[in-house]
Amino acid sequence: MNSKKATRRTALAAGLALALGLGVAAQASAGGPRTVSGSPNDNITRIADFYGAYIDAESDLDNGGGKLARQLRAYYLTPAYQKQLTAWEDRNHADGVLQAQNTPLGWKVTDHGTAGYTEAVITLTWGGGDTTELVVDMTRTTHKIFHIGTKGIGGK
């Protein structure tokens, strides 16, 4: 079979799969197992680890955050920022890490880049597909979060 014919057949098969609703889901399930990697010295990994574990703890139907969420805050946040976060929560009647009253269904961490510290954008996905973005700033030396907000400390 010539390459022109093969290309047309591939395009036809892809179009048929999309028309039948098999598109991305069929392609994703046909791939190999997913992998996730990281390093304890990489701040983006640490921020992703924190948000993943924190959301898991807050989603726990038996515990609803509780002790584990407090322990995660103590480990990943600077002591000074923990106090600021508590004050923010008292004023806003919401979870300061998530800056919301509910727990999201998913999260994504994207490196936002800076020189003296690490800044990451956290995209939280809620029921119905709505998203919100938070900016998280972390020291490069102690690997501790010292700010969470809608803008980073640099105003971005």
Q: What is the pTM of this model?
A: 0.76
pLDDT at 148 over 60: yes
pLDDT at 85 over 70: yes
Q: Say what percent of the chain tops pLDDT 90.
A: 62
Q: What is the mean pLDDT of residues 101-107?
A: 94
34 or 131: which leads in pLDDT: 131
Distance between CA 67 and CA 134 in Å, rounded? 24
- What is the residue whose two structure tokens read 């939280």? 124
CB-based contacts of 79: which residues, under 8 Å, 6+ apart? none
pLDDT at 54 over 90: yes
CB-based contacts of 72: which residues, under 8 Å, 6+ apart? 50, 53, 54, 57
CB 88 within 8 Å of CB 98: no
Q: Output the CA–CA distances (angstroms, integers) from residue 76 to 49, 111, 146, in the order listed.
A: 10, 17, 9
User: What would the two tokens of residue 121 be?
Assistant: 């954008």
Is residue 114 very low, low, confident or very high in pLDDT (cuts 50, 70, 90)?
A: confident
Q: What pLDDT shows up at residue 63?
A: 67
Strand partners, 120: 111, 136
